[in-house]
Amino acid sequence: MNKYTVLFVSLLLTACGGGNDSPINIPAVKSTPTIVTIGDSETAGAVSTLTGFANIPEASYPTRLQGLLGSKAVVHNLGVNSKNLLEVLEEQLPKAISLKPNILIISTTLNDAGDNLDKSMLIVKYTEIKKLFPNTVVILLTPLKPHVSITNLQEYRDNLYKTESLGILVFDVEAKSNKDWYCGYEDFHPCEYGYREMARVVQEYLLVNNLI
């Protein structure tokens, strides 16, 4: 049976259109899948603390996702701080391709919003991704809401749903939890609790939709 690569793009926030709570009609990945996560600091593990933020890879959501999934999957984290979508695709995608993932999670969130990456560029770049992964289920996680103001964030988030026309699935991670993922800190990054919640919600999504 053919394997379906899942391209899982991590861009995190609350729902504003597109998507629903019903299971997705996608063939399941039957073998133990390889999950590769690429993206920015929310993938790398930049954690909000009382005094700012600290780089703690072991607290990242991919590391916690591996802990939740156990032997059901193998998770690789290629995330690097301060990268936007264009940089992620140029610098991290080649390594991701070499790992031949069944599931690829891309997190490019606040950096893209701040750079005002418009919807036409989003469509171009995700069209390229679909060509690279012709048998891939592509999933975007919408951006999280930090406790600080991000210019263009809502517009950027809305534009993510335009990629559904390419056959990409858009999943609102934060809508699945009513907790404060920032622990009250004034920062762009979730606290350790937030990354635990993020991993839990992602795991639930994969299981509900028979992707793991």
Region 124-133 average pLDDT = 84
- pLDDT tens by residue, 41-98: 889 998 988 887 888 999 999 999 999 999 999 999 999 988 887 888 889 988 988 8
Residue 15: predicted pLDDT: 38
Q: What whole-number percentage of the chain has pLDDT above 70?
A: 76
Longest dimension (CA), the chain: 51
Confidence class for position 3, pLDDT limits 50, 70, 90: very low
Kindly list the distances between the CA atom of residue 42 and the CA atoms of 21, 100, 133, in Å, as whole numbers in the listed order. 24, 22, 23
Q: Which structure tokens are listed for 43?
A: 């993938």
Confidence class for position 14, pLDDT limits 50, 70, 90: very low
For residue 113, pLDDT over 70 is answered with: no
> How far from the centroid of its chain's Cα atoms is residue 152's Cα?
19
pTM for this model (two decimals): 0.82
For residue 122, pLDDT over 50 is answered with: yes
